[in-house]
Amino acid sequence: MFGLGMSELVVILVIVLIIFGAGKLPEIGGGLGKAIRNFKEATSEEKKEKDKIEEKKNA
C-alpha cells in the first residue's frame, strides 16, 4: 500500500488525531468514504458510456 509500513501508518494516524481531534474523525472518515464512492461511480459510468459508444461504432 504505497510502500508504507505499519509504523508509518500509525504515525500518520497520530498526527491526524492531534490535528483534527477524536470528535472530527468520524466526519472525516464519512466524507472520505463518500468521496471514494462517488469517484468509483463516476469512473464506472464513464466506462459504461465508452462501451456503448464502441458498440455503436462496431454495429
pLDDT of residue 33: 92
Residue with cell 455503436: 56
d(CA 31, CA 48): 26
pLDDT digits (tens, 9 = 90+) for 15-59: 988 988 888 888 988 998 999 999 999 888 888 888 888 888 776
| Average pLDDT, integer, range 1-23 | 85
Three-state SS for 51?
A: helix
